[in-house]
Amino acid sequence: MALLSPLCQLSGGCMGCCGHDYPSAEKIRDAIRENTTEFKAANPQTEQEFLQFRDRRSPMDLRFGVCRNLILESGCNFCPLHPARHQGKDLRINHCDINYLCKTAKIFETWSDEKQQRFVLFIESKKLDNITYSLKMDKSLLLNEFLIKEDSSSVK
Ligand code: SF4
Ligand code: SF4
């Protein structure tokens, strides 16, 4: 959940880069559900309490390949360490690579506004749940599909 790209916020929040080697969509959902339960039990309020929650396990200690900080809030994937939650202070620093962008997000940045808009509409038309969306972003599947579609419409 880099949130450096508008793509990170589509389809209920992308979590494609909040872990790796995911065993299955179901296991990802289980991991986020358990993280959310732990987060609610901890109920952090102060910065110190958020850091205690973050540091309850090491960054490499993933749950079914998923970062243990990733939770579900109002039906969306969400990182409680994000600066939006802490008056601009980024509690993810030293925990994950806050500047990471996936291949799709990097290429997206280079496109014109019109092409970006077409890609966003293409994604929205898929009506994917947030885990399917995340997995497809992580594997560049939506990017590849979109580029084929763009190619085929340009030769018509
Ligand atoms: S995988 Fe890409 S789109 Fe998804 S959160 Fe990471 S950088 Fe954003
Ligand atoms: S700390 Fe937050 S942004 Fe970083 S990998 Fe974990 S859930 Fe994702």
State in Å: Cα 105 to ligand 1 middle: 7
Report which ligand 1 atom has the smallest distance to the Cα of 10.
3
Confidence (pLDDT) at 54: 98
State in Å: Cα 120 to ligand 2 middle: 23
Ligand 2, atom 5, residue with closest C-alpha = 18
Report which ligand 1 atom has the smallest distance to the Cα of 105.
2
Q: Which residues pair with 77 in a beta bridge?
A: 72
Pocket perturbation via mutation, ligand 1, pick of 102, 132, 141 by most ligand atoms within 8 A of CB: 102
Q: What is the pLDDT of residues 14-64, one digit of tens each?
A: 999 999 999 999 999 999 999 999 999 999 999 999 999 999 999 999 999
User: How many domains are there within the chain?
Assistant: 1
Confidence (pLDDT) at 154: 74
Residue 1 lies in a domain: no
Residue 3 has pLDDT above 80, yes or no: no
Kindly report the length of the chain: 156
State in Å: Cα 152 to ligand 2 middle: 37
Lowest mean pLDDT among 2-6, 72-76, 142-146: 2-6
Residue 16 lies in a domain: yes
Confidence (pLDDT) at 83: 92
Q: Do residues 51 and 85 touch, judged by C-beta distance below 8 A?
A: no
- Judging by DSSP bridges, how do beta strands 76-78 and 71-73 pair with one another? antiparallel
Residue 84 has pLDDT above 90, yes or no: no
**Who's near 107: CB < 8 A, 6+ residues apart?**
143
State in Å: Cα 4 to ligand 1 middle: 8
User: DSSP letters of 70-114?
Assistant: -EEETTEEE-TTSGGGTTT--TTTTTS-TT---HHHHHHHTS-HH
Burial 30-63 (b: 16+ CB within 10 A, else e): ebbeebbebbeeeebeeeeebeebbeeeeeeebb
| 81: containing domain | 6-154
Residue 132 lies in a domain: yes
Q: How confident is the model at residue 4 (pLDDT cuts 50, 70, 90)?
A: confident
Residues with CB under 6 A from ligand 1: 1-2, 5, 7-8, 14, 16-17, 101-102, 104-105, 137-138
pTM of the complete model? 0.92
Confidence (pLDDT) at 130: 96
Mean pLDDT of 113-135: 97
Higher pLDDT, 118 or 3: 118
Please give the share of the chain, as a percent, with pLDDT higher than 70.
Answer: 97
The span from the CA of 117 to the CA of 20, in Å, is: 28
Q: Which of 109, 100, 90, 112 is nearest to 138 (CA)?
A: 100
Cα-based angle 27, 31, 32 (whole degrees, multiple of 5): 120
